[in-house]
Amino acid sequence: MAGIYVHFPFCAAKCIYCDFYSRVRRDWKPYVEALLKELSERSGTFLEKLQGVPPSTLYYGGGTPSLLPSYLLERIAEAVTDTFGGTPPGEFTVEVNPDDITPAKAAELHSMGVNRVSMGVQSFSDEHLKWMRRRHTAAGATAAFDTLRKAGFGNLSLDLIFGFTGLDDGRWAESIDKALGLQPEHISCYQMTGRWANPDEERCRRQYMLLRERLEAAGIRQYEVSNYARPGFESRHNSSYWVREAYLGLGAGAHSFDGDRTRSWNSPDIDAYVGNRPCGEERLSDREVLEEKLMLSLRTVRGLDLAALSGSERGSLKKTTLEELSRAGKLLVDSDSIRIPGEELFVSDWIISRLFPEYTA
């Protein structure tokens, strides 16, 4: 289930927490031309890797894709479809900011074949939104969600953020409940990192557990560390990353993977991308492949299918470490799989690192 990711590194303003490559500028047309050129140049090799099977997902991320005029977004989508045999992707996601969504914009996205929208809300507190330098209000986010529903979208996702300085448990519960009141099909929720992160790990854990409990009670189930969905509405595109499926990343700062050992990336620089598209590439070692399998699969509720490991990879997993983590309630181990209990996914990075072949206590 290969996918296409298109990065739009344009924003109207920078939020305080964002570490994705983006710039406050509006020179969209040259960038789109460069995207189309990259698609043309790289699609043949990518399709060879897929043995002629067209990619099944298309994802517009950023930055802020919804900032661009719809005709430019549609032009890229049409080029992707034409390039890969005329079959539209089964899942076509666009990330949007609430303040970009008007009835006209929503209708345009729907008519171009977008069937999944991920809206960056982050909080339903106007005080916190202003602090984050978001451009919308809580009421604006609610209105944008309603506009997307009226335009015919039946698969809507909301982004929220927790674990930042100034967020207490009560205000966090209010944001969760307001999000649930909109009845989205999917919620992505991220713990803030960096200088604005709350250093109180116990408070962050409480907020994580509060999120899980409230969403589970509403029928929205966790399927990955930061992602929750109603049954059948899990993100197909993002899920492919966690099982190491191939994907082609287009745009400045975008990454690609051949589904085996080769990862590549474009330089995170709009001007360089439009000019000559500098890029890099690495081929993973056996150890790095195993570490990726552990890191990606154990982020998910399903965990690691041991059948996905080679004999030597299974042999590199220390039995004593598995037993130790299992006794401590950090891992669930059986003959077929290894997974981290949902309540322990909050510390999944630490647990996973213990399984790396070179780990020493």
Q: Catalogue all structural domains in the chain, each as residue range(s) with its CATH number.
A: 3-241 (3.80.30.20), 285-361 (1.10.10)
Buried b (16+ CB within 10 A) or exposed e, 256-274: bbbeeeebbbbbbbbeebb
The first and second tokens of residue 192, run together, are: 């803030």
Decide if pLDDT at 20 tops 80: no
Give the model confidence (pLDDT) of 49-75 as tens digits: 888 899 999 999 999 999 999 999 999
> What is residue 15's predicted lDDT score, i.e. its pLDDT?
85
Confidence of residue 361 (pLDDT cuts 50, 70, 90): very low
Give the pLDDT confidence of 121-136 residue by residue, as tens digits.
999 999 999 999 999 9
In the predicted model, is pLDDT for residue 358 greater than 70?
no
Peptide bond into 3 cis (omega under 30): no
| Token pair listed for 291 | 């570490």
Angle at 122 between CA 119 and CA 124, to 5 degrees: 105
- Range in 62-71, 211-220, 228-237, 309-318 with the lowest mean pLDDT: 309-318
